[in-house]
Amino acid sequence: MSHTVVAITACAAGIAHTYMAAEAFEVAAEDHGFKVKVETQGSIGAENILTEEDIAAAHVVIIASDIEIDLARFAGKKVYKTRPKVAIKDAMALVELAIKEGTVFGAKGTEVGNITLGKTNENGFIQHIMSGISYMVPMVISAGLLLAIANIFAFQKDDMGRMVAWGFDQSDPLGDLMYHLFQVGKVGFTLMIPLFAGFVANSIASRPAIAPAMIGAYIANDAGFLGTETGGGFLSAILVAFLVGYFVRYLKKIRWPKILKPLVPIMILPLIATFFITIVVKYMIGGPIASGMGALYDWLTWLTTNYSASTFIIGAIIGAMIGFDFGGPVNKTALIFGTAVFTDTVAKYGIEGANFVPGTAAQVAISVAPLGIFLASHLFKNKFTATEKISANSAFGMGIVGVTEGAIPFAAAHPLQMITASVAGSALAGGLVGFFDVKFYGGIGSPLGTFVGYIEQPIPFVTWILCTFAGITLTAVIIGLWRKPIEVETGTETAQVTVEQDTATEQQPVRAN
């Protein structure tokens, strides 16, 4: 193949899928002899940026993204849009499909701006949500770690590691610094929701929708503005984002007088949309949603306080969702729910009364699938090829820092096996931390989290590790028992071989790492 391909890869979190998809393109180009340049739009920002010369020389542009990408610079080029997972699974097949079915951007029937080209089963609602998450994640992490650092100095414990008092001694310089770090962390969690709403709206209607959506989400979570006991949480932010996004999209279709056009995107649309969402929040949706969310959190608090088994069930459900699709929409939904419950209950009850169960379950389950694969490759060596063992080592590197996506290459090759094992192990880990009342304040969602971050647990350091390893071990055992020993045909006989034998007839997994 002598084609020249340019691509953009981006995922919701901007951490794993982004770079795995880029590597898959580069490996395919090396194996099949075509030229490729990949721009990654990860959490660190755009890297290896495509130049005008790169774009002009390309036969096709592939957008492998979970978030909206501005396509204006690709006018007149054949563009095909899909998700990063498609590139990770088989980049060469994707390139061939893009060349065959790509659509010329800017041709009749297309629109400059946020659009979807090519054949894809992408759910628009999920894509907009994922776009908001990608901008929210850095703030969640930084604010959460600041809270975790401050909390280390705020909790007074007894000899058994149990919390007996909480507070900052502001007469001490260190205590005063930690108090202010704690306040900064709270600011981050306050701004997280408006930031999320702003970029969901941006995904729908581009920049004019950002300011009104952020303002709308902020007032929808301001109990003083609403005259309620609590704000509307993430549910109100999602509703505000979509109302603003589609309202602004409608306003953009109006034929504004020529003299006003320079002011339309920077003043007229934001002003009208902000007035609109203020009225909607204040007099229509704000109060009912806030009351409903307040009742939900009161019920969750009552449930977890009065029924000990409920914490295991809630944790298991959240853990199962985390393990279901390896960083996909279900995984992110569980992560958002856990974060929302924590931040909303902190705002309502204070840190002492916050509900930690869903958020802690989500964090403990994050590393189960990739670390389960790694453990299985060592416990059941005769059931993994040499290449799979290398991929399992890569999965360990991602899992130990709390990145679920390390399991994707194995899920692509053995979906039923991996989903079953991951859901079971992740559910067990999530249920156990709920049952033992483990509280994750911030850090890394892996066994390392007990040392990197702050986790309150019955037995300091040990409980978290035991809960994570219970889930990891169950996942590894299911994978190992499900798989058959690697076989290779030799004449009329079939002999079992170990992973150290690297023959041409060994089963090979999808190359993604």
Residue 228 has which token pair? 């309620």
pLDDT value, residue 488: 55
Candidates 45, 42, 39; CA nearest to 26 is 39
CA 155-161-165 angle, 5° bins:
30
pLDDT value, residue 154: 73
What span, in angstroms and rounded, lies between the C-alpha atoms of 315 and 338?
A: 10
Q: Are 356 and 433 in contact (CB under 8 A)?
A: no
Write down the architecture of domain 4-104 according to CATH: 3-Layer(aba) Sandwich (3.40)
pLDDT value, residue 156: 58
What span, in angstroms and rounded, lies between the C-alpha atoms of 10 and 41?
A: 5
Residue 179 has which token pair? 């108090």
CA 421-12-249 angle, 5° bins:
135
Candidates 190, 170, 166; CA nearest to 180 is 170
Which segments in the chain show pLDDT lower than 50?
A: 108-122, 489-513
DSSP 442-482: EE-SSGGGGTSEEEE-SSTTHHHHHHHHHHHHHHHHHHHHH
Q: Are 420 and 447 in contact (CB under 8 A)?
A: no
Give the predicted TM-score (pTM) of the model.
0.64
pLDDT value, residue 93: 93
Candidates 49, 50, 57; CA nearest to 77 is 57
Residue 154 has which token pair? 């705020």
Residue 22 has which token pair? 């880029």
What span, in angstroms and rounded, lies between the C-alpha atoms of 55 and 77?
A: 8
Give me the phi and psi of 113, to 5 degrees please. Answer: 135, -145
* β-bridge pairing 35-42 and 4-10: parallel
| Helix or strand run (H / E) with residue 329 | helix 329-349
The owner of tokens 């559910």 is: 427
pLDDT value, residue 501: 43
Sign, CA dihedral 332-336-339-341, equals negative
The owner of tokens 């776009």 is: 131
**Residue intervals in the chain for CATH 3.40.50.2300:** 4-104
What span, in angstroms and rounded, lies between the C-alpha atoms of 497 and 273?
A: 66
Beta-carbon contacts of 482 under 8 Å, excluding residues fewer than 6 positions away, are 417, 420, 421
Helix, strand or coil for residue 60?
Answer: strand
Residue 221 has which token pair? 């979570």
Helix, strand or coil for residue 330?
Answer: helix
Q: Which residues are identified as catalytic?
A: 11
